[in-house]
Structure 1
Amino acid sequence: MTPHPASDDRLDASRLDARQRLVAIGLMALATVCFAGLDATAKYLTTAHAVPVAQVVWLRFAGHVVFSAVVLWPLALRPSLRSAKPVIQIVRSCFMILTTGLNFIALKYLQLDQNITIFFLTPLLVAALAGPLLGEWVGWHRVLAIIAGFVGVLVVMHPGIGTIHWAMLLTLGATFGYALYNIATRYLAPFDPASVTQTYTPLVGVLVMTPFGLAAWESPDSWFLWLLFASLGFWGGLGHWLLILAHRHAPAPVLAPYIYLGLIWMSFAGFLVFGDVPTWWTLAGGAIVILAGLYLFARERRLAVKGGPASEVDPQ
């Protein structure tokens, strides 16, 4: 019996789609490695060498601009500042600056795994804030997921049992800032192409942080520190690029659950560089937050298949 040509075409398309998704998942996994490298380097600089946080934040954005100019813009994106909503673009970039600053301060005092576990609340916060800010109201299934996520973060912080470290509140503030950054990204999607949005983020970061970074500047006393300074832009810029490539191969709802690989890399980096071992509080709370997030992503994928709105968290 001769195979039907249309059937062969569908089979080839299915195999191609599966291959594309595997490539996208691999790129997403590598992106989470880069972001673990970024946070571990920032923590090492601010703790082991007492480099001012303002300087580290400025170097992160300045290095990203350099990396973008050398690699990202020629190969992945054409830079453009022609935005239909320039004010919103600037506000969005300021949310990223706020997130980065609070995150780097918190990393001076918290373990990497504690910090990233609280950050995993981001997609749940995006779902909660999308209603009042974007008019995308959630159903009771997602409300339960959001509540469960907050319970998981409370387990990590364990108020009333141990003393809440004040730096955890900074991480929580950074998480809210990052959720607003993602909300702004979703709002801008119909107005500006990705190339415009990706151009604004590092450039605004450099412009805002330059006076603070230069005022706090402390010259490194070794080539190793210069290398670490340069690596901040490499980790951040490469992570962004890998995210862009991953989203070209697969839709955001498919990739979103793989954000949680970051907990593995953060825990590994924390142990390797700082000798930190995740506590049972962090593991238990992280499990609750991750399960709540996976449930939310499953609901979003189902809505996307039906033609409804799908959550797109941009873990930059």
Structure 2
Amino acid sequence: MTSSAPPPVDRTLRAILSIIFSVLCFSVLNAISKTLSQTFPVIEVIWGRYIFAFIFMLALFLPRSGMNLFRWHNVPSQIVRGLLLFFSSFLYFHGIAYLPLATAASISLTSPLVVTALSSKFLGEAVGPRRWAACCVGFIGALIVVRPGHANFEMHSLLIVGSTLCSSLYQLFSRRYGQTERPDASATMATIVGTVVATPLLPFEWVTPTLGWHWLLFVGMGVAAGVGHYFLTIAYSQAPAAVVAPFNYMQLLGAALLGYLVFQDIPDFWTWVGAAVIVSSGLYLGHIERQRYRALMARK
């Protein structure tokens, strides 16, 4: 199946700016969640991420959108999308409790490659041999970071691998149904699903925050999550997934910087080598997409 015609330039630019801002929000979110996970159970951190994101969504969008905030064209798909995001968060938050942020970010950088590889099946977007080659190179980079079978292999890295797969499917669902759904309604549904799934698990591990600083971090995490996923939804509703996804690589910079400043984490040499391979493959994918976009525009 051939891909659809590219969106107007202004929509593509809007999508790129949205994904960049989304990545910045997620970098802050991950740093806060790792900080809170040192004191609170991970399920409580995940619950806080969703409940405060939901409250933020209501405060920001309800006055403007009214009941449209709770109207969806495809509820089953929205629920599946929300579950994918929840499991991605669940696995990622457990992983970064033990791993440096930059190591986790390096593994998760394969998400654009997974999105590209699956975009033909899920979205009907042409992939082609060069993009397949870039995906294969990127996955080799992921193996360098994870190093299965090596003495320094960290089992918790597999949690990030699982999280990345869930995140990739979430992004594909965002792209597939994003053009028929309101971005604010889609983002709100994701927070509703996550809150509903996490709440029954909460009483078994609840630890009451006693410091105002902790409450501030919980609220800040929810705001970062809500804003990040709102702009992620906008990005994937404005441009093809293979165009938007490579900009997720910016999260490595944020993870490395925050990991060093907040946790004094310095990734080892092979993590940087693997990350460089992954980023290079992603940049090549971006180059292919720019060529493809120009060729499609020239034929119009």
1:33 and 1:164 mapped to 2: Cα distance?
A: 29
* Equivalent in the alignment of 2:31: 40
Deviation, structure 1 residue 77: 9.3
1:236 aligns with 2:225: yes
* Equivalent in the alignment of 1:153: 142
Which amino acid is the alignment partner of residue 205 of structure 1? G
1:140 to 125, 129, 141: 129
1:95 and 1:22 mapped to 2: Cα distance?
A: 27
Which amino acid is the alignment partner of residue 224 of structure 2? W
1:77 and 1:268 mapped to 2: Cα distance?
A: 39
1:152 and 1:222 mapped to 2: Cα distance?
A: 41
2:293 and 2:13 mapped to 1: Cα distance?
A: 20
1:300 to 269, 289, 297: 289
Cα distance change on mapping 1:193 and 1:69 into 2, 3 Å: closer
2:73 to 57, 81, 84: 84
- Which has the higher mean CA deviation after the structures are superposed, 208-217 or 282-291? 208-217
* Equivalent in the alignment of 1:312: none
CA contact 2:25–2:224 (8 Å) conserved in 1: yes
1:196 to 180, 185, 190: 185
1:224 aligns with 2:213: yes
1:270 to 249, 252, 259: 259
Deviation, structure 1 residue 203: 1.1
Deviation, structure 1 residue 283: 1.0
Cα distance change on mapping 1:215 and 1:106 into 2, 3 Å: same
Q: What are the residue-to-residue correspondences of 1:55-134 with 2, within 5 Å?
A: 55-74=44-63, 79-134=68-123
* Equivalent in the alignment of 1:11: none
Cα distance change on mapping 1:284 and 1:75 into 2, 3 Å: farther
Say how many residue pairs are matched.
Answer: 290
CA contact 1:253–1:301 (8 Å) conserved in 2: no
**What are the superposed Cα offsets for residues 47-99 of structure 1, whole Å, 9 maximum, x if unpaired?**
2xx31111111110111111111124446897433333211110111000000
Which amino acid is the alignment partner of residue 227 of structure 1? L
2:33 and 2:66 mapped to 1: Cα distance?
A: 27
* Equivalent in the alignment of 1:311: none
Which amino acid is the alignment partner of residue 142 of structure 2? V
1:282 aligns with 2:293: no
Deviation, structure 1 residue 187: 2.3
1:182 aligns with 2:175: no
Cα distance change on mapping 1:78 and 1:164 into 2, 3 Å: farther
* Equivalent in the alignment of 2:249: 260
Q: Percent identity?
A: 33
Q: What TM-score, normalized to structure 2?
A: 0.85
Which amino acid is the alignment partner of residue 163 of structure 2? A
Cα distance change on mapping 1:195 and 1:31 into 2, 3 Å: closer
- Unaligned 5+ segments in structure 1 are 1-16, 309-316
1:19 and 1:137 mapped to 2: Cα distance?
A: 23
CA contact 1:156–1:285 (8 Å) conserved in 2: yes
**What are the superposed Cα offsets for residues 239-281 of structure 1, whole Å, 9 maximum, x if unpaired?**
2345567789988766544322211111111111111112211
Cα distance change on mapping 1:246 and 1:173 into 2, 3 Å: closer
**Which is greater in Rg?**
1
Which amino acid is the alignment partner of residue 251 of structure 2? G
* Equivalent in the alignment of 1:52: 41
**What are the superposed Cα offsets for residues 180-212 of structure 1, whole Å, 9 maximum, x if unpaired?**
111222221354343432231111111111111
2:269 and 2:184 mapped to 1: Cα distance?
A: 42
1:252 and 1:88 mapped to 2: Cα distance?
A: 17
1:20 and 1:98 mapped to 2: Cα distance?
A: 30
**What are the superposed Cα offsets for residues 151-197 of structure 1, whole Å, 9 maximum, x if unpaired?**
00011112344332111111000001111111222221354343432
Q: What TM-score, normalized to structure 1?
A: 0.81
1:181 and 1:44 mapped to 2: Cα distance?
A: 25
CA contact 2:24–2:251 (8 Å) conserved in 1: yes
Which amino acid is the alignment partner of residue 69 of structure 1? L
